[in-house]
């Protein structure tokens, strides 16, 4: 088995103990494509390459990682960790590190679909409610003509379903696996199965299928650019208010640590 550890790691920063890579969306796509090419080349030589994990981190991820050390370890050991949350970008800047941009999971999936369509890579959509992945796949194919969808399946992150899902993936011959089981379940599922996943890259995409399928409405572009997508989602889904409490808690902890740092510097 070939390891990818020899690849040059991108510049990175730490936000409350959680690693975030300083990459653009273009660099993210380039890194994913490199992993696909490496795996395809290895398979052609009769070798195997372990799947690599991509994590999209927002403030909820960071706060969950404060409570759950195992989740934090999964994030910090991933092949690539991208900033999917304006709060993460803001916290990094406060700590003196300028992240190039916010890279949302939904936008990355769309851009990845276009890259896959152009290069002939095969995409598998796993997760979400029954039928949602299929509608998301159809939407991606309309956005990225020629995109090869290797398969779709709702399934669940339950361990008793893993063998059945893995068999579907082996038969699908995909290059990239996108998993929409919600965080942190999707990250744990991917990490638990990394050595058995027959793909080059696996990435958790949260609610991306819901947005692409039209099941959920995404915030208008202006609100997205202002970094207030979380507020719009709270307006649309008020039942999420408990989860959204992670955002003010996150801001408070970041500011508190920043003030402590200033006092120590004096």
pLDDT digits (tens, 9 = 90+) for 124-147: 999 999 999 999 999 999 999 999
What is the band of 214 on the pLDDT scale with cuts at 50, 70, 90? confident
Domain assignment of residue 175, yes or no: yes
Helix, strand, coil content of the chain in percent (nearest 5): 55, 15, 30
Domain assignment of residue 104, yes or no: yes
Domain assignment of residue 5, yes or no: no
> What is the distance between the alpha carbons of residues 75 and 54, in angstroms, rounded to a whole number?
9
Domains: count for the chain: 1
Q: Does the pLDDT at position 4 exceed 60? A: no
Domain assignment of residue 260, yes or no: no
Q: Does the pLDDT at position 69 exceed 50? A: yes
Domain assignment of residue 223, yes or no: yes
Least confident of 63-67, 101-105, 228-232: 228-232
Contact 14, 20 (CB under 8 A): yes
Report pTM: 0.85
Q: Does the pLDDT at position 266 exceed 70? A: no
Average pLDDT of every residue of the chain: 87
The contacts of residue 230 (CB under 8 Å, 6+ apart) are: 59, 85, 86, 244, 247
Domain assignment of residue 264, yes or no: no
Q: How many CB atoms lie within 10 A of CB 241?
A: 9
Least confident of 43-52, 67-76, 94-103, 171-180: 94-103
Q: Does the pLDDT at position 247 exceed 80? A: no
Give the pLDDT of residue 151. Answer: 98
Structural domain range at position 234: 12-253
Domain assignment of residue 213, yes or no: yes
Judge residue 146's burial from the number of C-beta atoms within 10 Å of its C-beta, 0-12 exposed, 13-18 middle, 19 or more buried: exposed
Contact 53, 99 (CB under 8 A): no
What is the band of 242 on the pLDDT scale with cuts at 50, 70, 90? low
Beta bridge partners of 204: 179
Using DSSP, how many helices (H) and how many strands (E) does the chain show?
A: 13, 8
Least confident of 64-78, 147-161, 198-212, 232-246: 232-246
Q: Does the pLDDT at position 117 exceed 70? A: yes
Q: CB-side exposure of 1: number of CA atoms within 13 Å?
A: 11
> What is the distance between the alpha carbons of residues 63 and 46, in angstroms, rounded to a whole number?
42
Domain assignment of residue 126, yes or no: yes
Q: How many CB atoms lie within 10 A of CB 43?
A: 13
């Amino acid at each position: 088995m070939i390891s990818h550890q020899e690849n040059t790691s991108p510049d990175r920063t730490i936000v409350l103990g959680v690693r975030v890579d300083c990459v653009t969306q273009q660099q993210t796509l380039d890194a994913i494509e490199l992993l696909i090419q490496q795996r395809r080349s290895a398979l052609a030589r009769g070798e195997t390459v372990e799947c690599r994990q991509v994590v999209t981190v927002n403030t909820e991820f960071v706060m969950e990682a404060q409570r759950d050390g195992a989740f934090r370890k999964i994030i910090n050991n991933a092949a690539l960790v991208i900033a999917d949350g304006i709060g993460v970008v803001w916290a990094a800047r406060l700590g003196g590190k300028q992240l190039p941009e916010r890279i949302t999971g939904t936008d990355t999936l769309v851009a990845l679909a276009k890259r896959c369509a152009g290069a002939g890579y095969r995409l598998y959509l796993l997760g979400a409610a029954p039928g949602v992945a299929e509608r998301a796949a159809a939407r991606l194919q309309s956005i990225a003509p020629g995109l090869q969808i290797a398969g779709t399946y709702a399934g669940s992150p339950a361990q008793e379903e893993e063998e059945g899902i893995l068999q579907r993936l082996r038969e699908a011959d995909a290059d990239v696996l996108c998993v929409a089981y919600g965080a942190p379940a999707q990250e744990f599922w991917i990490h638990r199965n990394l050595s058995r996943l027959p793909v080059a890259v696996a990435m958790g995409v949260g609610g991306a299928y819901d947005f692409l399928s039209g099941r959920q409405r995404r915030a208008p572009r202006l609100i997205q650019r202002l970094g207030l997508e979380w507020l719009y989602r709270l307006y649309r889904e008020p039942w999420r208010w408990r989860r959204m409490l992670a955002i003010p808690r996150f801001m408070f902890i970041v500011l508190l640590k920043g003030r402590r740092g200033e006092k120590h510097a004096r």
